[in-house]
Amino acid sequence: MSVNIQKYLDEVKKRNPGEAEFHQAVEEVLESIAPVLEKYPQYVESGIVERFLEPERQIMFRVPWVDDNGKVQVNRGFRVQFNSAIGPYKGGLRFHPSVYLGIIKFLGFEQILKNSLTTLPIGGGKGGCDFDPKGKSDAEVMRFCQSFMTELCKYIGPNTDVPAGDIGVGGREIGFMYGQYRRIQNEFTGVLTGKGIGWGGSLARTQATGYGLVYYTREMLKANGKSFKDQRVVISGSGNVAIYACEKAQSYGANVIVVSDSNGYIIDEDGIKLETVQRIKEVERGRISDYVKDHPTAKYVPGLDVWSVKCDIALPCATQNDINEDSAKKLVANGCYAVGEGANMPCTNEAVKYFLSKGVHVGPAKAANAGGVATSALEMSQNSMRLEWTFEEVDSKLDAIMTSIFEACDTASKEFGMPGNYVAGANIAGFLKVAKAMYAQGVI
Ligand code: NDP
């Protein structure tokens, strides 16, 4: 049987006009799962694909709040509850001015497969708001978060939907939202992950996505006879994922020479000094350009062209579509042989195709950055059991999960005749588990 993938894609574009990021994510997944659908025609006949591409529920709501000047501001909030076939919806909240339905849907869609790959019982969802926390006072962020949760709390719950952080949502925002949820519902429950230590948070959650990215990339390198030792690594971003990817890569002997933010990037040939980045970003909430004040031999370059810096391994950890085909060509020309996606969809589909055509090992986001959500699921387990595991316990579970995710991608890529194509392997392994569950549960 030959499956007409284009038909599904055309339908998605027609039903979801103007949502470019969602179309992009769907296209990439459909291309990979075509051989699965040929092997298992029951998934085509039972409409699994159509249902898989349509969120179970999409919620959009007004978020009114009052700024420090007493002026009323109005933002738009989102929660897309995409698929709960294998567990409660799980996925982060993004606060960034670029947020609109298409971004939340692409993230929610990717999250279904990512969560499936973790081997843990969590479905896929995502949410956020077009609110920009940058430049806002703590009091403004608190009032905004309280308003956001006042509406969101109607749709979530520890067995229904468990949001977490993402871009613009860190410990401070999770704290304000958790407080408001608890006040309204009058219950102390694991409804959000990324909570603080001492009130339900898990040790190692802060580090999990960055560490997990490096564990996954380590396995990918190992499978191809390579390692991080003495390799030049370029990281985009200097937020949560970037910081802990940098720390773990350095611990494996890598020379991380670049980190960035949305204004520019730092090149430090002697190796990025992480304590300076952490102070600027985690304490002062400042700009990465400040780095050179402490380290005058480093160089600050304004703009986003981080991928022109020569490296062996690239770890994009900022945002989507960070590496386009041109950047991919520059990376390959400069000798880059491995890419571990820390951000969600940081490479365009054209960039991924180019990398694969040149034999570059690509660790796709939905597998390589799944450590964050996996550890969130471990936080949910600890909350349900009313127990707290040590940092080492959580970290070793994370390492084991990332290793098993790599093995699942590797095995699926071989089973379907695309050895070394971990992008396809991740899509196939993630999809198969969800499709089996949907098939077993009937037409719902
Ligand atoms: P943070 O908000 O902590 O950091 C984001 C970083 O990316 C900042 O350095 C930011 O710079 C930079 N950035 C954001 N937007 C742009 C842009 N348009 N152009 C260039 N740089 C940009 O977010 P996280 O580290 O948590 O998330 C980074 C990525 O990882 C996202 O794609 C997220 O979805 C993904 N991810 C995060 C997980 C987590 O656990 N945190 C889990 C799985 C995936 P600036 O400060 O200037 O805005």
The 10s digit of each residue's pLDDT in 128-148 is: 999 999 999 999 999 999 999
Distance in Å, CA 424 to ligand 1 centroid: 24
User: What's 318's DSSP letter?
Assistant: S
239 CB under 6 A from ligand 1? Answer: yes
Given a contact cutoff of 8 angstroms between Cβ atoms, the answer to whether 259 and 235 are in contact is: yes
CATH of domain 55-185: 3.40.50.10860
Distance in Å, CA 43 to ligand 1 centroid: 35
CA atoms of 202 and 387, how far apart (whole Å):
10
168 CB under 6 A from ligand 1? Answer: yes
Distance in Å, CA 348 to ligand 1 centroid: 16
Given a contact cutoff of 8 angstroms between Cβ atoms, the answer to whether 404 and 119 are in contact is: yes
Q: Into which CATH architecture does domain 207-368 fall?
A: 3-Layer(aba) Sandwich (3.40)
CA atoms of 88 and 92, how far apart (whole Å):
13
CA atoms of 330 and 307, how far apart (whole Å):
7
207 CB under 6 A from ligand 1? Answer: no
How big is the CA angle at 15 (ends 13 and 16), to the nearest 5 degrees? 65
CA atoms of 208 and 397, how far apart (whole Å):
11
241 CB under 6 A from ligand 1? Answer: yes
Given a contact cutoff of 8 angstroms between Cβ atoms, the answer to whether 338 and 226 are in contact is: yes
Distance in Å, CA 1 to ligand 1 centroid: 42
369 CB under 6 A from ligand 1? Answer: yes
167 CB under 6 A from ligand 1? Answer: yes
Ligand 1 atom 22: residue of nearest CA: 262
Ligand 1 atom 33: residue of nearest CA: 343
How big is the CA angle at 95 (ends 93 and 54), to the nearest 5 degrees? 50
Q: Best substitution site from 240, 260, 283, 324 to test ligand 1's pocket, by max atoms within 8 Å of Cβ? A: 240
Distance in Å, CA 344 to ligand 1 centroid: 9
CA atoms of 435 and 83, how far apart (whole Å):
11
366 annotated active-site: no
Q: Which ligand 1 atom sits closest to the C-alpha of 263?
A: 47
344 CB under 6 A from ligand 1? Answer: yes
Q: Which ligand 1 atom sits closest to the C-alpha of 345?
A: 32
Q: Best substitution site from 166, 260, 321 to test ligand 1's pocket, by max atoms within 8 Å of Cβ? A: 166
Distance in Å, CA 31 to ligand 1 centroid: 27
Residues composing the chain: 444
Q: Which ligand 1 atom sits closest to the C-alpha of 372?
A: 40
According to DSSP H, which parts of 296-364 are helical?
A: 325-333, 349-357
Q: What is the pLDDT of residues 282-308, one digit of tens each?
A: 999 999 999 999 999 999 999 999 999
Outline where DSSP puts E strands in 138-182: 161-164
Distance in Å, CA 236 to ligand 1 centroid: 9
99 CB under 6 A from ligand 1? Answer: no
238 CB under 6 A from ligand 1? Answer: yes
240 CB under 6 A from ligand 1? Answer: yes
Sequential pLDDT tens for the chain (444 residues) = 578 999 999 999 999 999 999 999 999 999 999 999 999 999 999 999 999 999 999 999 999 999 999 999 999 999 999 999 999 999 999 999 999 999 999 999 999 999 999 999 999 999 999 999 999 999 999 999 999 999 999 999 999 999 999 999 999 999 999 999 999 999 999 999 999 999 999 999 999 999 999 999 999 999 999 999 999 999 999 999 999 999 999 999 999 999 999 999 999 999 999 999 999 999 999 999 999 999 999 999 999 999 999 999 999 999 999 999 999 999 999 999 999 999 999 999 999 999 999 999 999 999 999 999 999 999 999 999 999 999 999 999 999 999 999 999 999 999 999 999 999 999 999 999 999 999 999 999
Q: Best substitution site from 98, 261, 281 to test ligand 1's pocket, by max atoms within 8 Å of Cβ? A: 261
237 CB under 6 A from ligand 1? Answer: yes
Sheet with 232-236, side-by-side order of all strands: 299-302, 264-267, 255-260, 232-236, 313-316, 338-340, 361-363
Out of 114, 126, 195, 281, the active site residue is 126
Distance in Å, CA 211 to ligand 1 centroid: 15
Distance in Å, CA 17 to ligand 1 centroid: 26
φ, ψ for residue 414 (rounded to 5)? -75, -45
108 CB under 6 A from ligand 1? Answer: no
The pTM (predicted TM-score) of the whole model is: 0.95
